[in-house]
Amino acid sequence: MTSRGEPGDIRSDPGPGVIMGERRRLMNLTYRLLGSLADAEDVVQETYARWYAMSPSERRAVESPGAWLTTVAGRICLNLLGSARVRRETYVGDWIPEPLPEPTEWIAGHSGAGGTDPVDRITLDESVTMAFLVVLDAMTPAERVAFVLHDVFRYPFGEVAEIVGRTPAACRQLASSARRRVRGAAAPEGPDAEQARIVRQFRTAWEAKDIDALIGLLDPAATATADGGGLAVTHPHPIVGAERIARAYARIARVAGDGRTFLECTVNGVPGLVAQQDGEIATVFAFGIAGGRIRHIWAVRNPEKLRPWRIGSQSCGG
């Protein structure tokens, strides 16, 4: 993937437009590999720093700048995934991937570096739903990188092997193992309209503190997981079972009082909820829905993971 030209080849140094044109693809790749918008942005910045650290002659010798950038970004992500497992041993509570808003619902007049915010460079599809990212997070770093590069971005195993540092055959086995995990854990969720209807009914039942209605919307074996990162109050362990979740969420509604309001928003490409407390965004909820019932609730309260939701103006449905 990082092949260079022959010694006698003469190429022009790719201009900034060519190199920066790879930014969107790199953001899409690194977010899927890391599950964190902030970390993905850091990796992309580091990748560009390494490109511009080379001399002009070294840059001209790179046969495919896009492939070079992908290789470097992939290797940085692979290293970060390994160290992340160690860091999460000291993380307070459960770790949930960073939720992404729909750019059209999120921003109004705000722009970051380069005139475009990082979230605006993420393509929202089935490979960034919270259910999918949670499955990815359970994989080994090598499985995740091999699977995302091959199955999501369609890189051949020969190129994947350069990034992972294993043989193409080994990468094929890694991707196959990851594929089995995805098939076993990621159930089909149904049309967006159906999901939106169920999320709206959940919101209505929750606001009414209607425990029976909540139980009826939840799968009997549903789980609710929350991520406060030690920076926000939340339940410390996953809640399992429809009745336990319904009663716990009814208690949350009573404690929150009249200062809490809900917005129906797109979370990682599918219908979700955003809770505001006294006008400030406090929690983003993603749902895993299958068979007409909610099987998983992921509640992100860690304020460090809600940064994209707090910038600009929200225009989700009230």
**Which domains, ranges and CATH numbers included, belong to the chain?**
16-185 (no CATH), 192-310 (3.10.450.50)
Lowest-pLDDT choice from 56-70, 219-233, 248-262: 248-262
Q: What's the rounded Cα separation, in Å, for the pair 35 and 166? A: 23
Is the pLDDT score of 60 beyond 60? yes
- Decide if 46 contacts 77 (C-beta within 8 A): no
Distance CA 25, CA 298 (A): 27
Is it the case that residue 141 has pLDDT exceeding 60? yes
Question: How many Cα atoms sit within 13 Å of 285 on the Cβ side?
Answer: 24
Q: Between these two residues, 4 and 305, which has the higher pLDDT value?
A: 305
User: In this model, does residue 31 exceed pLDDT 80?
Assistant: yes
For the chain, the three-class secondary structure string (H helix, E strand, C coil) is CCCECCCCCCCCCCCHHHHHCCHHHHHHHHHHHHCCHHHHHHHHHHHHHHHHHCCHHHHHCECCHHHHHHHHHHHHHHHHHHHHHHHHHHCCCCCCCCCCECHHHHCCCCCCHHHCCHHHHCCCCHHHCHHHHHHHHCCCHHHHHHHHHHHHCCCCHHHHHHHHCCCHHHHHHHHHHHHHHHHHHCCCCCCHHHHHHHHHHHHHHHHCCCHHHHHHHEEEEEEEEEECCCCCCCCCCCEECHHHHHHHHHHHHHHHHHHEEEEEEEECCEEEEEEEECCEEEEEEEEEEECCEEEEEEEECCHHHCHHHHCCCCCCEC
First-to-final CA distance of the chain: 48
Map tokens 């979230």 to a residue. Answer: 119
With a cut of 70, say whether residue 103 has pLDDT above it: yes
Taking residues 211-220, report their average pLDDT: 98
What is the pLDDT, as a whole number, of residue 10? 52
pLDDT tens digit sequence for 184-203: 775 556 778 899 999 999 99
**Position 115 confidence tier, pLDDT thresholds 50, 70, 90:** very low
Mean pLDDT of the chain: 88
Average pLDDT in the 23-45 region? 95
Q: What is the pLDDT of residue 312?
A: 47
In this prediction the pTM is: 0.88
pLDDT at position 95, please?
94
Contact 43, 76 (CB under 8 A): yes
- pLDDT band at 9, cuts 50/70/90? low
Q: What is the pLDDT of residue 165?
A: 95
**pLDDT given at position 191:** 76
Residue predicted with more confidence, 279 or 251: 251
Q: What's the pLDDT score for residue 272?
A: 96
Is the pLDDT at 313 greater than 60? The verdict is: no
Query: What's the confidence (pLDDT) of residue 259?
Result: 80
Whether 17 shows a pLDDT value over 90: the answer reads no
